[in-house]
Amino acid sequence: MDHRRFPPDEEVAPRAWAGLAVVAAALFVATLDAMVLYVAFGTIRRDFPDVSAAALSWILSGYTIVLAAGMIGAGRWADRLGRRRVFLAGMGVFTVASALCAVAPGVGVLVAARVLQGFGAAALTPVSLALILRAFPKSRVPQAIALWGAAGALAAALGPTIGGLFVEAWGWRSVFVVNVPIGIAVAIFGRRLLDESREPDGSRLPDPVGTVVVTVALVLLALAIVQSGAWGWSSTRTVGALLGAVVLLGAFAGRCATVPNPVLPLDLFSERGFRWANLGQLLYGTGFTIMFFGNVQFLREVWGYSPVWTGLAMAPGPLVVFLLAPPFGRLAGRIGQRPILIPGGGISAAAALFLLSRVDSAPAYLAVWLPFTLVSGVGVSMVLPLLTSAAVAGLPSDRFATGSAVNAALRNLGQTLGVAIFVALAGRTTGEVLAYHRIAWWLVAAAGVAVTATSWRLPRVGSATRAVERDRHLTVLRPTASRPSPIVAGEPATTRSRRVLQGVSS
């Protein structure tokens, strides 16, 4: 194979790096906002003592439901209306909603503002990745995506600690105030540094009726789980909400199968890796949220930690994920996701079982909590990022964006279910507070076992091998890291594809 026909990596304009910093800042603040609220939740409960935990949980669930339902279609809206326009509009909505959250006089206004935040985040999160793909040459896209993803990972790692510091110093409202200056900066610099792009006017917009139907279905499902403690599982309201959710989800599936512009293209699930990786994402994401949200409440309620100490105690696990996820990702590129996901689920389950066997109401950070959170971080770094890449590894490259959006939506749905399940456990368990935390950790262990089971069904071939074999038959190819394909200005796509195919064949 003659490598001389391929030039060195293309130079990246400073404007592209500056644009990457803008979209990374938007992703950072959107991710940080979700993490810090887990720490702030206990303080919010104390400020509204007359409001039940089930009602307050909608501060978290309202955001994730809208985010999950809106994320799939947001990318396609941006393709039609303009990616920079939708990104900046999403950032604007998120910023205004953050200001409303900071001044909310009651829980109703706070929940409504959080729902509005979810709409903004649903618009800016997937579109930010599309803007990066447009700004960087093919050979530098993996590096740009890694830096973009690192912003979200860093926010998840720092979120509990930053949240604890802000809550203890200035109260829970401050966690929303910090979003405002960042949002204004992103809007100003984004307009200057990000280039506009869109698809032809003839492209179809996603089905708006389907978006509404699936949103209402998820609301009813979360409502039934959260209120099961107060209503009872056999009550008319709980059963009615569950039946309504099932009927609407069926109607959503039927609509996606019949309309020409479905929110969720059901044919994606015919690909084996996509099907099983997304099921694992939903199950593991639910267990992960039960663990993360539940552990914050455990440290506050049972061990009596302050918000700052809670954040510091939680920080080692996400930091392990931040450090280990990139090398595990590179390893998966050589051997595939399956050999890493299978033991990763087992490690996550083992960490939860260790905690169950050792934890008590007496604080024991060094002997119990630190080993648990470090081992758990290893398990999470082997599972959560790789479930996303496993889901899209077998898809044609022109379906990557849609497949990634579906996976992200299921991850957010898992967050909604995780919060709802934990709140339901807390509302139904009587006696010692530690009791429902033990049930929650059993569920976390079950989620680890579940992702190991679903990962057994993933294709055995490594993702890199599948990608190369698939791209031999596509007109749009991704260059390998060792042989970047030059992008010649003005060159027709068919000519470029034929030239790259010749390079792969050689």
Q: How far apart are CA 438 and CA 355, in angstroms?
A: 9
Q: Residue 145: pLDDT band by 50, 70, 90 thresholds?
A: low
Q: What is the pLDDT of residues 245-278, one digit of tens each?
A: 999 999 999 998 998 888 788 888 888 889 999 9
Give the CB-side neighbour count of residue 461, counting CA atoms within 13 A.
11
Are 458 and 273 spatial neighbours (Cβ–Cβ below 8 Å)?
Answer: yes
What percent of the chain is predicted at pLDDT more than 70?
82
| Secondary element (H or E) of residue 189 | helix 179-193
Tell me: the pLDDT tens digits for 284-314? Answer: 999 998 998 899 889 988 999 988 898 889 8
> What's the pLDDT score for residue 408?
78
Name the helix (H) or strand (E) containing 104.
Answer: none
Summarised one tens digit per residue, pLDDT across range 74-87 is 777 777 778 888 88
Least confident of 10-19, 30-39, 245-254, 320-329: 10-19
pLDDT at 211 over 60: yes
Q: What is the DSSP letter of 10?
A: P
Q: From CA 98, how far away is CA 41, in angstroms rounded?
A: 16
Mean pLDDT of 318-326: 84
Identify the residue with better confidence: 471 or 21.
21
- Mean of pLDDT values over 120-131: 80
Q: How much is the pLDDT for 459? A: 87
CA distances from 96 to 82, 88, 121, 277 (A): 21, 12, 12, 36
CA distance 385 to 387: 6
Count Cα neighbours of 166 within 13 Å in the Cβ-side half-sphere: 24
Percentage of the chain surpassing pLDDT 90? 27
Residue pLDDT, tens place only, 221-248:
888 887 776 787 888 988 999 999 999 9
Cα–Cα distance measured from residue 454 to residue 172, given in angstroms and rounded to the nearest whole number: 39
Could you tell me which residue, 338 or 491, shows the higher pLDDT? 338
Query: 356: pLDDT confidence band, cut at 50, 70 and 90?
Result: very high
Reported as a pLDDT band with limits 50, 70 and 90, residue 495 is very low
The pLDDT of residue 431 is: 55
H-helix or E-strand spanning residue 425: helix 400-428
pLDDT score, position 201: 58
Phi, psi of 483 (to 5 degrees): -135, 75
**What is the arithmetic mean of pLDDT over 323-352?**
89
Q: What mean pLDDT is predicted for residues 96-106? A: 93
pLDDT score at 398:
63
Q: How many CA atoms lie within 13 A of 188 on its CB side?
A: 6
Tokens 């949240």 -> residue:
163
pLDDT at 484 over 80: no
pLDDT, averaged across the chain: 80
From CA 295, how far away is CA 301, in angstroms rounded? 10
Residue 506: is it exposed, middle or buried by C-beta count within 10 angstroms (0-12/13-18/19+)? Answer: exposed
- Among 125-134, 293-302, 387-396, 493-502, the range with the most confident prediction by mean pLDDT is 293-302
C-alpha 135/C-alpha 137 separation (Å) is 7
In this model, does residue 162 exceed pLDDT 60? yes
Model confidence at 461: pLDDT above 60: no
The residue ranking higher by pLDDT, 319 or 197, is: 319
- Report d(CA 505, CA 304) in Å as an integer: 63
Is the sign of the CA dihedral 34, 38, 42, 45 positive or negative? positive
pLDDT band of 102, cuts 50, 70, 90: very high
Give the chain's end-to-end CA distance (angstroms, integer): 5
**Residue 463 and residue 118 in contact, taking contact as beta carbons nearer than 8 Å:** no
Could you tell me which residue, 351 or 430, shows the higher pLDDT? 351
Q: Report the pLDDT averaged over residues 456-477.
A: 54
384-442: pLDDT as tens digits = 888 877 887 787 766 766 777 788 788 878 888 888 888 888 766 555 678 888 999 99
CA angle 120, 16, 142 (to 5 degrees): 85
Residues 6+ apart with CB under 8 A from 8: 484
Which SS3 state, helix, strand or coil, does residue 413 take? helix
The pLDDT-based confidence of 143 (bands split at 50, 70, 90) is low
Rounded mean pLDDT, 95-117: 93
| Residue 57 binned pLDDT confidence (cut-offs 50, 70, 90) | confident
| Furthest-apart CA atoms within the chain: distance in Å | 73
